[in-house]
Structures are given as C-alpha cells and as structure tokens.
Chain A
Amino acid sequence: MRRIYESDALDRDDEDPFRPGASDREEPRAARTLPVGTLSETLFPRRLRHRSISVDVSTPRDVYEAGETVPFVVRMKNAMPFPVSVPTVSPVLWTWAVDGHREASHVPEIPTQEPSALEFDRGEWKEFRRNWNGMFQVSESEWTRAGPGEYTIHAGVNVESASAKGVRDETTIEIR
C-alpha cells in the first residue's frame, strides 16, 4: 500500500514560499522546533550551562510534627536569555533526597544507562511540588517513620556531582 508521504500528491518547491519545500519531506516540522539540545551542546560550554541554571528548595515551615507530611517546592531557573539544555545521567531529569537517601529510600535504584536532557527555554522557571511523608523506605517492602531530629531535603538536576556543578540545593527541617 502506498503511503501518502510516498505519493506525489503534494507539489513541492524549495523556491516558492507558498508550496511545501522539498527538503521538508523527511520530517514534518512544527512551527517552533529549535533544536535546543544540539544548539546548546555546540554553542554553549557545559560548565556555563550548569552555571546558568539555579535551583532552590523550600518548605513552608521549618518544624513539623512526627507523622506529618512535609511538602516542599523545587524551583529551577534559566538565567540566560536563550534556551539551555542540561544533559542528565538518566531519563529521570531531577531528583530529590532526604539526608542523602534518594526519595527517602535506602533501596538501591535500578540503574539506567539511557542519558537524557533537561531543557529550559530562555529565562524559564520550572516549579515542582513534592511531599515527603516523613518515612524512610528501608527495604523493598518496608518503611520506618523518621524519628525526631533534623533532616536535610536536597533536590537538583540529575547530573554527576550536582552540588559541585551548582545545580542542587538543600533545606533543613526539624521533626519533633
């Protein structure tokens, strides 16, 4: 069966602005498809890209009762007036942790080899809201409640050594 894109039903001409271009045949493109990843990769050094992204983590309060859920907000901003793409180590683009335990879990995650990228438009803000339920996962099927004390919530872009690259932030809360 002949597909529509294999047919000559469309009159193509690169010169005529009112006809579809011959070079558009392979990939139909949307109106706004700037290849942010490629441009960012070729024109903007990775180190500067990390520097242009700021990350902030905040909680509404500093002190929570035991058993209470701790909501937190992660804000990321691209300070540059052009789009920026930050390569990440996995399709999980950003992560959060409590006292160094990813998503408050002691269970090692299944490693993925597939890298991806977190893309920001020019001057873009991103905001993510999550909740820590005040528990730590200690095994595949078991959780324990965090005792009274101070806990640090970290969040950042999923890159190697995120703290050193400045794409990670933390905040400390107290559980009574």
Chain B
Amino acid sequence: MAIYEVEAGERFGVVGESGAGKSVTSLAVMRLIDEPGVIESGEIRFKGRNLLELDDEEMRELRGNEIAMIFQDAETALNPAYTVGEQISEAVRHHLDMDETAAKERAIEMLESVGIPDPGQRYSNYPHEFSGGMQQRAVIAMALSCDPDLIIADEPTTALDVTIEAQILGLLKEIGDEYDTAIQLITHDLGVVAEFCDRVMVMYAGHPVEMAPVEDVYYDPQHPYTVGLMGSVPRIGDDRDRLETIPGRMPDLIEMPPGCNFHPRCPYAEENCTKREPAFVDVATGTPADVSDHDTQMAACLAHTGELSEQPGYEVRVRDGSRTEPVESTDGGTVDE
C-alpha cells in the first residue's frame, strides 16, 4: 500500500529495486492491474474524482488523454501491425477530436519533438523499422500527444543512450513547466532522479519507506534502505574496489517478513524490528506522516518513533571537487554524494 500525492506541475520520482512495486503502483493509478490482481481497497483521486468509482468508458476517456503512461518496454507497447504514425494519430483523433490530416500533422510534430529524424517519412514506418531507442521515443511521443495533466513515465529512458536521455528528460521538463503537467517518474537511475525530480518516494516490498524533497533524500537519508541505495551508486573518481551493495534480496511478496519488511537485510535491525511494522512518520516529529505536506521528510523506520534502543549510524559525505566534507558523522555505513 502506498499513500502519496503529486501536485500539478510537480516532478515526482519513484525509486526502488526491481520488484519493489513501483510499476504496479503506477499501473494501479491507470487501473491497468492485470488479472488476477485487484485493487482491494483505498482511493485514487485525480482532479477531485475517485478513479475507482469511474466506469470503464469514463476510464478509457481519461487514459491517454488526461493521464498518459510511457511504458517500460516500448517494443511490446507498440502494435507491430500498424505504422508508428498511425498509432500516435489514433490517440490524437480519439481524444482531441481532430480530423485525419490534423491528427497526422500533430503526430509528425510529436515525432519531431522527441528527436525522430525525418518524421514525415518515419510516420509511415512500422515499429520493426525503428531502433529500440526510436521505439521508446515513439512511445513517449504517443504519451505526450494529447497534452496530459499527469504523465506516468515507467523507466522512459532506460533503453536510450545518454544524449537522447538528456533530450527526452529536457522535453519532459519543458512540458511539465509549460503546461503544468505532473510527472511521476519511475526509475532505477538515481542520477536521473537527482537531476529531474522535485520530490522522491523510495519503495520497498510494495510500501513507501521514505518520501521527501529530493535534496533531503540525497543529503540526509532517513531510512537504512535509502542509505543502502545511495551507497550502491557508482561514482566517477571513486577509489572503492567494489560497490557497496545491500546484502540479500527483496522478500517474496507472498511471504513477507514480519514487522519491518526490510529487517532481514537491515544492518541496524533489532529484535523490535521483527515484531513491529514501522508507521510512515514525519522524521522530525515522529508523528504520522501528512502526505499533503510536500516539504517534510517522511520515513517508515522504528528509529523515528523512538522504538529502537540504538539509533542507526551512518555517515553522509558531500564531495565538492577534491573537498570531502562529512555532513553527519556517526558510525557504520557511508554514503557519498
């Protein structure tokens, strides 16, 4: 279960290991959870409406129009039997009520904006005639074509080379700023999150473990899992022989560990962590988190509710050129920034 809010124009990052529930959380927003999965309870509110109360027809009107998704795997997202251009203009015709010529023009314009060379010619190409990166860009063009209010981008740049990645992120940023579009970015790339997002939610085993403005998460992580994630990022000029990893792996969601789901892998876990599930709290006060307050740092660790006998100790160093300056110094793990 995850509780979070994304404001209009905000760029919200969702990070975590594979299997943490990032994609499922986003698919739930679109009500695209596959059988036999169901949304058991809760609310998904979009512009004041609870999406779980809409019928299928209303939901179809919303998808691709007001909420668009950039899927992880472009090759499977595109229909191999139709031209790329047709697939983009279909969405435009359906949602924006444009005629064929106008929709085609719009589709070509979108292909151009995502950096497809010679878009007029490429409009009539089938997906197999596009490279992987171009397919990904076509999927992005499709998502952007109807000027959505919320874009859910599920690892949109994973298959792209870094120059195109920078262009696409720049384009998303531009669209977000210009049209006040909210962007929920799911990614493994912590560098992209740092660069692109305003706020970030770290997920583990289907739950948010930390949520805060991006600077707070990077400079002052408050959950041992976030510390582990940050520690495992490779850095240029780093003299470590091996990258720090988080030992163990994500639990099987059928057999979740009791108490804090992270305790089997947590270097700071105590007996209490095996018996109590930590609440998602404001780390400054230890009171239940208010997700509508976008400036506070929230985390789910017993350390913040005073239920651990010892506080987790780790060190965060901020490197500025050759200077290394310890931000917080206790003992245990290190995170370099």
Chain A contacts to B: CB under 8 angstroms: 1, 4, 91, 110, 112, 114, 116, 130-131, 133, 135, 137, 140-145
B276-A141 in contact (CB<8A): yes
B258-A114 in contact (CB<8A): no
The listed residue (A4, A114, A140, A145) touching B38 by CB distance below 8 A is: A114
B258-A91 in contact (CB<8A): no
A156 to chain B, nearest CB (A): 17
A144-B86 in contact (CB<8A): no
B259 within 8 A of A: yes
A110-B40 in contact (CB<8A): yes
Residues on the B chain within 8 Å of A145, using CB: 275
Indicate the size class of the contact surface on chain B. 10 to 19
Report if A143-B274 is in contact (Cβ < 8 Å); known contacts: A114-B38, A131-B255. Answer: yes
B279-A141 in contact (CB<8A): yes
Bound-complex Cα distance A116 to B274 (A): 34
Please encode chain B, from 248 to 281, with 1 for each CB lying within 8 Å of some chain A CB and 0 for all others. Answer: 0000001101110000000000000011110100
Residues 300-332 (chain B) with a chain A CB within 8 angstroms = none
Nearest opposing residue in chain A for B82, CB measure: A1
Report if A140-B277 is in contact (Cβ < 8 Å); known contacts: A91-B38, A110-B40, A131-B255. Answer: yes
A4 to chain B, nearest CB (A): 5
The listed residue (A4, A130, A141) touching B277 by CB distance below 8 A is: A141
B275-A143 in contact (CB<8A): yes
A sample of 5 inter-chain contacts (CB < 8 A) reads A110-B40, A110-B41, A141-B277, A142-B275, A143-B259
B247 within 8 A of A: no
B40-A144 in contact (CB<8A): no
Bound-complex Cα distance A108 to B276 (A): 18
The listed residue (B40, B90, B274) touching A1 by CB distance below 8 A is: B90
Residues on the B chain within 8 Å of A131, using CB: 255
Please encode chain B, from 29 to 56, with 1 for each CB lying within 8 Å of some chain A CB and 0 for all others. Answer: 0000000101011000000000000000
Residues on the A chain within 8 Å of B275, using CB: 135, 142-145
B41-A135 in contact (CB<8A): no
Residues on the A chain within 8 Å of B90, using CB: 1
Bound-complex Cα distance A123 to B63 (A): 45
Known: A110-B40, A112-B40. 18 other contacts (CB 8 A): A1-B82, A1-B86, A112-B38, A116-B36, A130-B254, A130-B255, A133-B258, A135-B258, A135-B275, A140-B277, A141-B279, A142-B276, A143-B258, A143-B274, A143-B275, A143-B276, A144-B275, A145-B275
Report if A4-B259 is in contact (Cβ < 8 Å); known contacts: A91-B36, A114-B38, A142-B275. Answer: no
For the complex of A and B, 5 pairs with smallest distance between CB atoms = A141-B277, A143-B258, A91-B36, A135-B258, A143-B275
Instruction: Identify which of B40, B82, B274, B275 gathers the most chain A CB atoms within 10 Å of its CB.
Output: B275
B271 to chain A, nearest CB (A): 9
B162 within 8 A of A: no
A142-B38 in contact (CB<8A): no
A130 to chain B, nearest CB (A): 7
A142-B277 in contact (CB<8A): yes
